Structure 1
Amino acid sequence: MPLSRFFILLAALVLPFGTVQGLTWDESVNGDLSDDGAAPTLLGTLSLGSNLISGTMGSLGGTGPLDADVWNFTVDSGYYLTGINLVGYSSTNTGNQSFMAIANGGSIDMSDPSLHLSNALWGYAQDGFGNTYNDLLGLLDAGPEFGGIGFDGPLPAGNYTFWIQEGSDQIGYSIDFVTSPTTPVPEPGGLVLLGVAGLWLLRRRR
């Protein structure tokens, strides 16, 4: 087989499975996230894999105005939201109790939890706060704790609004929203086998 045909086949096999840069929002770089449920920060469509949101919420020492963080995102057609993982956390208060909620659509009602898709407290008692990769989607899946629609994850394609709130301390956080395709892609080993099979078929046709 000519070398050029080999590289064309190799490119056809590899390109669809290339890595995609995930969506990120860092309040220290991109600006403060909205604290208004009716007008959340629009993050756009989540990328395949990890999408990291980082910021601060609450109030220093429990005094002063409370800072909620609210953002809106879309899970594209053909994908599921398969993870909401706490990957970073900093606080001076070990007894904190934070609140999170998720709703369908472009806003979230911050006065009526019964209208949420799900909601839950999150803190040391619930998820070992301070450890990495805490399963926040699992907490929401097990809810809603304060009334709401409820769901059985993972979440399908659609538009969602997410709200986090802390009332007793100022908290720095990083949360990873993970999307996966509804149809699993082959593992790297499977791609190698697919490439070998393709080359074998080409040789058989010569």
Structure 2
Amino acid sequence: MILLAACVVPFGTAKALNWNELNDGDLSGDGNAPTFITFTEGSNLIEGTMGSLGGTGPLDADVWTFTIAAGYYLTGITLVSYSAPTGPHDSFMAIDDATSINMFDPSLHLSNGLWNEQVDGFGNTYTDLMAILDAGPAFGGTGFDGPLGPGNYTFWVQEGSEQIQYCINFEMTAVPEPGSSWLLGLAGLIMMRRRR
């Protein structure tokens, strides 16, 4: 599928574009053989298209897998841009804690749900997909609470009618080692004593 517009990130924030279907090739549509994408600390953008042009023809699903390394958490999944030709749609997403995802039985997912574009007070797209998944699963599944910890995960997006262009940000956050917080606090106390 051809991607017509580049992902525009609100407020000029620099983010790593980890996958763009226009430059990197079509994301897999097979839950048993997802595209592997390497995520790094901070923002990781995935930009693609899904659905079918004009609501006819085969549906294009996008499925990718990623690994959260030890010492990191996935703290956010946010829709950055969403372009539907004939108005708002409800798209489907699912996540599983494996290197594949069952595209036929949603009860086997970690979580799933429907999503569409929402805008913030400045006219920027901001849909908190992590909150939707955290509140789910909408169609059966295990569910989860809070950020996702180290391990392998597979993410699937699907639109049932029109062709949708999207950009999704996955936010990876390092978790400080227990001793490092204590050391920072101690350093702060020493600095305050020296000022006196």
Check whether TM > 0.5.
Answer: yes
| Counterparts of 2:89 and 2:15, CA distance in 1 | 33
Alignment pair present for 1:177 and 2:170: yes
CA-atom RMSD in angstroms: 2.5
With structure 1 as the length reference, what TM-score do the two structures score? 0.75
Equivalent position of 2:33 in the other structure: 39
Shift of 1:153: 1.5
Output the amino acid matched with 1:37: G
| Counterparts of 2:147 and 2:15, CA distance in 1 | 22
Q: Counterparts of 1:9-158 in structure 2 under 5 Å?
A: 22=16, 24-44=18-38, 46-123=39-116, 127=118, 131-158=124-151
Shift of 1:23: 5.9
Output the amino acid matched with 2:127: N
Q: Counterparts of 1:187-198 in structure 2 under 5 Å?
A: 197=191
Larger Rg: 1
| Counterparts of 1:144 and 1:97, CA distance in 2 | 16
Output the amino acid matched with 2:35: T
With structure 2 as the length reference, what TM-score do the two structures score? 0.79
SS at match of 1:138: helix
1:160 to 153, 157, 161: 153
SS at match of 1:29: helix
Give the structure with the larger helix fraction: 1
| Counterparts of 1:140 and 1:150, CA distance in 2 | 8
Shift of 1:118: 0.0
Give the total of aligned pairs: 170
* Deviations, residues 59-108 of structure 1 (Å, cap 9, x unaligned): 11111110000000011110110000101111112241210000011100
| Counterparts of 2:96 and 2:35, CA distance in 1 | 14
CA 1:128–1:115 in 2, change beyond 3 Å: closer, same or farther?
farther
Output the amino acid matched with 1:25: W
Q: Which segment drifts farther, 87-96 or 59-68?
A: 87-96
Shift of 1:183: 1.9
| Counterparts of 2:164 and 2:92, CA distance in 1 | 12
| Counterparts of 1:183 and 1:159, CA distance in 2 | 21
Check conservation: 2:116, 2:127, Cα contact below 8 A.
no
* Deviations, residues 93-140 of structure 1 (Å, cap 9, x unaligned): 22412100000111000000000000001125xx56995231000000
Structure 2, gaps ≥5 residues long: 1-13
* Deviations, residues 128-176 of structure 1 (Å, cap 9, x unaligned): 6995231000000000000000000211111000000001110111100
Check conservation: 1:56, 1:171, Cα contact below 8 A.
yes
| Counterparts of 2:175 and 2:17, CA distance in 1 | 19
Output the amino acid matched with 1:158: G
Check conservation: 2:119, 2:126, Cα contact below 8 A.
no
Check conservation: 2:15, 2:45, Cα contact below 8 A.
no
